[in-house]
Structure 1
């Protein structure tokens, strides 16, 4: 079992620093604005909570793939709604049964122990995206960094190319002696040096 709380708390901290003016700003993800990223975070927090509870649902946690994240769909109450959903996500994955059996999120079925790592990976990577897009600092605790690096390094292997489709972009070369988080970002198709346009 991994504790998703440190990564979730970092996202919550970052959400508190987002201004209305930044909602239209670009993020490290191509063609995704800050508002669309926040909409995605709202959706994935529900999807992975349902996955932990194995409860399905009509939205992102159902058997159907989720709709694309959209700035137009961002809930007006996102500042209070997202922290609440992230808290529910953390609590759901603190239950031992969340990590057993098979479960589904966003139309993908995986062993629950793998799905929990995917949930953590989403929090860390999109937390970093949000931090860079809004010019805030980003901190990832060592345990989360280690788990995400292992997951993204595995996904970057040539034989995993099909599984990367729609999840990560092409691998970005990063020096082997770079910090672990930078290496994880590169494996996930992100440039660790990306900065928001001034």
Structure 2
């Protein structure tokens, strides 16, 4: 079992980025070519709930099917407050050491709870970077959490469903740039608006 990693800093910082996004930025591009800013916010809305259920080893409520593909059109009113609050709750769920033990389900896929926790943390940090980079905001996640995510991803077999090909990054680059490169993103990416 992997030792628990504190999510609170990452949840707070990504939540602050989300709260700072303007309505006119929702259709702006992100480093994930298939997502606009609004699409990525819809994705974050769903994953924050899904990974909190994973931490508690709870199934989705009855009648809840596979979430639809992320789409800004699905983004419900109040997202600037709701998603950061859900990220805080997600961090709280993973603060329980029991969340990291045993098996769970994330994204309808069974896996070890410690893997689910690391995937959740990676999503929070990397999508926080995506949104900050897309909207011109500052993002400075906890270096220990960034390092833990990078080490975790280096241990995982490459999955084309999860990440694009790794982008080579200079060894002297920041740990965040190293992590971003591991997920198939170019750390030098800037939006063309």
Aligned residues: 189
Question: What does 1:1-198 align with in structure 2 at a 5 Å threshold?
Answer: 1-58=4-61, 65-155=66-156, 160-161=157-158, 164-198=159-193
In structure 1, runs of 5+ residues without a counterpart are none
Separation in structure 1 between the aligned mates of residue 163 and residue 71 of structure 2, nearest angstrom:
18
Task: Provide, for residues 36-88 of structure 1, a one-character-per-residue CA deviation record: whole Å limited to 9, x for no partner.
Answer: 100000100000000001111149xx7x6532111111111111211221121
Separation in structure 1 between the aligned mates of residue 102 and residue 58 of structure 2, nearest angstrom:
13
In structure 2, runs of 5+ residues without a counterpart are none
Matched-pair contact (CA < 8 Å) for 2:19–2:81: no
Separation in structure 2 between the aligned mates of residue 153 and residue 179 of structure 1, nearest angstrom:
16
Task: Provide, for residues 15-53 of structure 1, a one-character-per-residue CA deviation record: whole Å limited to 9, x for no partner.
Answer: 121000000101000121111100000100000000001
Matched-pair contact (CA < 8 Å) for 1:172–1:189: yes
Deviation at 1:170, TM superposition (A): 1.2
Matched-pair contact (CA < 8 Å) for 2:168–2:181: yes
Matched-pair contact (CA < 8 Å) for 1:39–1:74: yes
Give the TM-score normalised by structure 1: 0.90
Give the TM-score normalised by structure 2: 0.92
Question: Higher relative contact order at CA 8 Å, sep ≥6: structure 1 or structure 2?
Answer: 2
Following TM superposition, the consecutive aligned residue runs of length 4 or more in structure 1 with deviations greater than 4 angstroms are none
Matched-pair contact (CA < 8 Å) for 2:17–2:132: yes
Deviation at 1:177, TM superposition (A): 2.4
